[in-house]
């Protein structure tokens, strides 16, 4: 069994960035065209993530969301409006009542594999010796299952060392959108509100967009501070914070490659490499719904030699995981969190 990781606060800065690397006032930051980044624009907002998670458990009304999450009314109104505008939710009338319900669209339901991939990561690495909050039951085969991230061509599991990549027709850089939620502190305690959740534990560590983008650069082979700084065009203090936190939480380990002055590179641990599954599942969602057919990145599975996209499948019957086919066995009392006790997601 893998060792568990503890959530820790930020350590002292790793080292100061060179002055030449600091962001210049008035210069628009440009970022890599990336389907993962587009997906994270939605789920890296803690409240939006929690609302979507509750919807997978069958929550549909304003008051039910508010009760389950303890979310301020104004905040809930704002997030539901934004998620509806993004076509994650649609509004529907509730029978003869004038009360509105918020139901996941096909686009919203298609986020389910991303949540499941993050849940499996949290179960493996962040359980801290406690039972997983829930067990998935795949009703198609009626088995308790531990879904795996697999190649869409051969159906075998996929890891970071099994894949090569190349630029797709949507590759390149573009001006970063204003107002993106990338400067908030990387303390992710808000993700833990409401019911116990391994997805929440995972996002507590890597749930802000910058943290996941730093991990993304590691998957691209960028290990050194200056290289990551250049690729992301990130503020030095933010990069130092994210790296130090992820070293403390077990995602990276530092290795010295130069002395006088001391310099380090940041290598993914086994835990860090295991984020590759959630990474490529989010990539698939962003490619499908937000790329307009111009994929920024093409993946090749070296085991079978074919291009592929990530598929989350049942480890028993090998069929793709779909929200409507899942039921849950809970290890907690949902009533104590003001939450629903779901039998299945419909």
pLDDT digits (tens, 9 = 90+) for 170-212: 999 888 766 544 445 445 677 888 888 898 899 888 888 889 8
Least Cα distance to 125 among 30, 8, 250 occurs for: 250
**Lowest-confidence region among 6-20, 233-247, 289-303:** 6-20
Interval 26-42 mean pLDDT = 83
Tell me phi and psi for residue 325, to 5 degrees: -95, 5
pLDDT confidence of residue 257: 93
pLDDT digits (tens, 9 = 90+) for 35-81: 998 898 888 888 998 999 999 989 999 999 999 888 899 999 999 99
Flag whether pLDDT at 114 surpasses 80.
Answer: yes
Its pTM stands at 0.86
**Lowest-confidence region among 181-185, 231-235, 278-282:** 181-185
The alpha carbon of 240 is separated from its chain's Cα centroid by a whole number of angstroms, namely 21
Interval 303-309 mean pLDDT = 97
The alpha carbon of 225 is separated from its chain's Cα centroid by a whole number of angstroms, namely 23
The full DSSP string for 224-276 is BHHHHHHHHT--HHHHHHHHHHHHHTTSEEEEEEETTTTEEEEEE-HHHHTTH
Report d(CA 199, CA 191) in Å as an integer.
Answer: 9
On whether the CB atoms of residues 144 and 328 are closer than 8 A, the answer is: no
Q: Count Cβ atoms within 10 A of the Cβ of residue 226 and give its class: 0-12 exposed, 13-18 middle, 19 or more buried.
A: middle
Flag whether pLDDT at 293 surpasses 80.
Answer: yes
CATH number, domain 30-219+270-337: 1.10.10.10
Q: Cβ of 215: how many Cβ atoms within 10 Å?
A: 24
**CA within 13 Å, CB half, 155:** 9
Question: Would you state the structure tokens that stand for residue 21, as one six-digit string?
Answer: 């690397």
């Amino acid at each position: 069994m893998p060792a568990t990781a503890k959530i820790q606060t930020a350590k002292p800065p790793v080292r100061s960035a060179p002055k030449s690397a600091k962001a210049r006032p008035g210069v628009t930051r440009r970022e890599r065209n990336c389907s993962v980044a587009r997906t994270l624009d939605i789920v890296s907002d803690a409240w939006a993530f929690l609302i979507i998670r509750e919807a997978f458990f069958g929550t549909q009304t304003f008051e039910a969301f508010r009760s389950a999450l303890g979310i301020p009314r104004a905040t809930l109104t704002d997030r539901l409006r934004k998620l509806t505008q993004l076509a994650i939710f649609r509004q529907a009338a509730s029978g003869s009542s004038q009360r509105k319900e918020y139901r996941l669209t096909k686009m919203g339901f298609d986020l389910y594999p991303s949540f499941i991939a993050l849940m499996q990561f949290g179960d493996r690495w962040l359980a801290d010796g406690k039972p997983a909050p829930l067990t998935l039951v795949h009703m198609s085969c009626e088995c308790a299952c531990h879904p795996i991230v697999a190649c869409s061509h051969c159906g075998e599991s996929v890891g970071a060392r099994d894949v090569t990549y190349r630029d797709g027709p949507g590759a390149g850089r573009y001006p970063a959108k204003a107002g993106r939620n990338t400067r908030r502190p990387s303390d992710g305690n808000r993700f833990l509100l409401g019911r116990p959740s391994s997805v929440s534990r995972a996002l507590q560590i890597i749930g802000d967009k910058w943290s996941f983008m730093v991990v993304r650069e590691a998957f691209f082979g960028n290990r050194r501070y200056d290289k990551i700084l250049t690729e992301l065009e990130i503020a030095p203090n933010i990069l130092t914070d994210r790296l130090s936190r992820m070293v403390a939480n077990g995602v990276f380990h530092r290795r010295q490659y130069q002395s006088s002055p001391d310099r380090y590179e940041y290598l993914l641990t086994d835990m860090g490499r295991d984020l590759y599954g959630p990474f490529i599942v989010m990539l698939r969602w962003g490619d499908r719904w937000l790329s307009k057919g111009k994929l920024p990145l093409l993946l090749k599975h070296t085991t079978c030699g074919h291009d592929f996209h990530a598929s989350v499948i049942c480890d028993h019957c090998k069929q793709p995981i779909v929200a409507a086919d899942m039921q849950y066995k809970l290890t907690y009392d949902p009533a104590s969190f003001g939450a629903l006790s779901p039998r299945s997601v419909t």
